[in-house]
Structure 1
Amino acid sequence: MTNINYEYIDEQSIDANYKCSICMKPFQYPVTTPCDHTFCQECIQHWLNENHLSCPICRQNLLENQLIPITTRLILNILDKLVVKCLQCGQNDVQRGNFNDHMKKFCSKSILSCTASDTNCPWSGKREELEKHLSICNYTQLRSVLSQFMNTNQLFEKQIQTLTNHVQTLQIAASNPISRLITFDKLIEIENKIDSGIIPELYQNLKWINVWYMHEKWVELNHVLSGWKNAYTNNHTCIAFNGKGSSMKICSQHKGLYSFSLISFEATAAWHDNLRVNVIGKRIKQVIYSTIITLQFTHSQVFQFDWKNLDEIKFIPLDGVQHTGIEYDEKYFALTWIILG
């Protein structure tokens, strides 16, 4: 479960109606079920991923795509106003909804990197120690010169990575003559908008569950500082991603009747470095294959597989480290393309 660096002030007094019956803590990103029970999103997803196919309370049948996020502002405000104590600096009057802001901007014990970390200064330490370090940091004094060299080097590395990915794609397609390369650029013509949205039902004759698409123009307007931009390789203008930063699935139209192979895909993390994603291949609800891949914020990667006789591929984001300067923590990732057999 997610690591939390705070504890509640007078937790016993918090109304039980605002607590998850799995972890027994106040709700984190609450979701509700068709049987009208509420849980933390991560708690109930973990429960379902353990092959429990029913509600933990009433045992009514339950699937992950039936979970509905609670967006009622009154409930979310109540949860956000719960008072917590920071376990690092000891401040005990922080509202839970402001805790991330506290850690990023105010906590004296938070571990920070040097402001010249982008030019390879190795220092990291507590916020209260940063000012002293900056007064003697050689990297800070030479930052303008080092930045020019590093920007040029990063540009070359990105070009090399793009070409490498393109060559890998061609090699994979050539070695699998019955394979099909699925891209998402056509969605802009189908949806007739330069935006983001849910991938239409039965796109490319497959079922896409909690899979969204996003146009490159949307990223340029709304998320300039993000890993999203690194997913648009080789002139692709549209990518697929996991809605709400949650699990997503690609399935055959009729499970058990039509199967396919997973050969390869290209993927990128949106907000995290070293974002781990559990990729699972199933056939008639049985797990046949499972592996964990690690995605990067700074560049896209091509992953190769030899998974056969599947009717479902599931992607479960697990954890990662927020990229420096990123305020979002949702476990989003992008697929540039995918090759199925």
Structure 2
Amino acid sequence: MAINIDWENMTENSIDEDLFCPICTEPFEEPVCANQCGHTFCRKCIINTFRTKSQCPTCRHTLTIDGFHPVTTHPFLNQLNKILVKCKWCSQSNIQRGDFKDHIKICTKIIIPCPAAGIYCDWQGQRDQMQDHVQVCPLVKIQPTIDELKTIIKQQTEQIRFLYRILERTSEHHKEVCPEEPTKNETVYCDICEQAFTIDEQNRCLHFCPEIDICFNL
């Protein structure tokens, strides 16, 4: 693949030549092997190569991108993981490549976004500058309230969907058991509380039933 933006190799001259990708000439990252010819490349390198031609870059055999499998040989992967690298952000050296993901999570100089980036704070800065920004960022201060409102809205949305499904089922049940719509001034009885009420123009479809509170039962 292209040169890594986060690290640089420290001991390139002492790295076994079998650990280098023939496309990018850097130590393998996410190595994959061709099923047909057995040649190995970085995953990103071979994907980029196949955008222009479907051939093995080493032996020119015609291949497909599906004809590769990840390299899982532990001794091979362990050699790659033990390569010593230097962080380009903080300049810390002698980091084993297999440990670099853990280092980048705590690297003090890497550029990270504001914790309130999800609500449109566009600040970005080094990790060791984060606390100073958080102290003055107005969006960080209101984020807990916004998160709480989002939770309430989500819960209410789910309740509305639930009520809508109940209304749909009630409507279907009504059509099955009551094919004829009551006429004006006709006396009908509630199926739940058995209370009698009269259909009129103002209260044609709705009836308050004291025996059931649908919201209470959600």
CA separation in 2, counterparts of 1:92 and 1:127?
Answer: 19
Q: Confirm or deny: 8 A CA contact 1:119 1:147 kept in the other structure.
A: no
Structure 1 SS opposite 2:125: strand
Q: 1:10: how far off?
A: 1.9
Q: Confirm or deny: 8 A CA contact 2:83 2:97 kept in the other structure.
A: yes
Determine if the alignment matches structure 1 residue 49 to structure 2 residue 47. Answer: no
Q: Percent identity?
A: 36
Q: Name the CA shift for 1:58/1:144 in 2 (closer, same or farther; >3 Å).
A: closer
Per residue, is there more strand in 1 or in 2?
Answer: 1
Aligned residue in 1 for 2:139: 139
CA separation in 2, counterparts of 1:156 and 1:95?
Answer: 50
Q: Deviations over 1:143-186 (max 9, x none)?
A: 322223345568899xxxxxxxxxxxxxxxxxxxxxxxxxxxxx
Q: Confirm or deny: 8 A CA contact 2:11 2:83 kept in the other structure.
A: no
Q: Confirm or deny: 8 A CA contact 2:32 2:71 kept in the other structure.
A: yes
CA separation in 2, counterparts of 1:20 and 1:56?
Answer: 11
Determine if the alignment matches structure 1 residue 36 to structure 2 residue 48. Answer: no
CA separation in 2, counterparts of 1:95 and 1:155?
Answer: 46
Q: Deviations over 1:270-319 (max 9, x none)?
A: xxxxxxxxxxxxxxxxxxxxxxxxxxxxxxxxxxxxxxxxxxxxxxxxxx
Q: Confirm or deny: 8 A CA contact 1:85 1:92 kept in the other structure.
A: yes
Q: Give TM-score scaled by structure 1 length.
A: 0.41
CA separation in 1, counterparts of 2:20 and 2:58?
Answer: 13
Q: Confirm or deny: 8 A CA contact 2:6 2:88 kept in the other structure.
A: yes
CA separation in 2, counterparts of 1:118 and 1:155?
Answer: 20
Structure 1 SS opposite 2:85: strand
CA separation in 2, counterparts of 1:79 and 1:62?
Answer: 26
CA separation in 2, counterparts of 1:54 and 1:18?
Answer: 21
Per residue, is there more helix in 1 or in 2?
Answer: 2
CA RMSD of aligned residues (A): 2.6
CA separation in 2, counterparts of 1:153 and 1:118?
Answer: 17
The structure whose RCO (Cα within 8 Å, separation 6+) is larger is 1
Q: 1:101: how far off?
A: 2.3
Q: Give TM-score scaled by structure 2 length.
A: 0.63
Structure 1 SS opposite 2:100: helix
Q: Deviations over 1:2-34 (max 9, x none)?
A: 753211002121111000111111011111122
Q: Confirm or deny: 8 A CA contact 1:119 1:150 kept in the other structure.
A: no
Structure 2 SS opposite 1:39: strand
Question: Runs of 5+ in structure 1 lacking a partner?
Answer: 158-341
Q: 1:139: how far off?
A: 2.7
Q: 1:99: how far off?
A: 1.7
Q: Confirm or deny: 8 A CA contact 1:7 1:86 kept in the other structure.
A: yes
Aligned residue in 1 for 2:64: 63
Q: Confirm or deny: 8 A CA contact 1:48 1:64 kept in the other structure.
A: yes
Q: Deviations over 1:114-133 (max 9, x none)?
A: 22333443322110101122
Question: Runs of 5+ in structure 2 lacking a partner?
Answer: 158-218
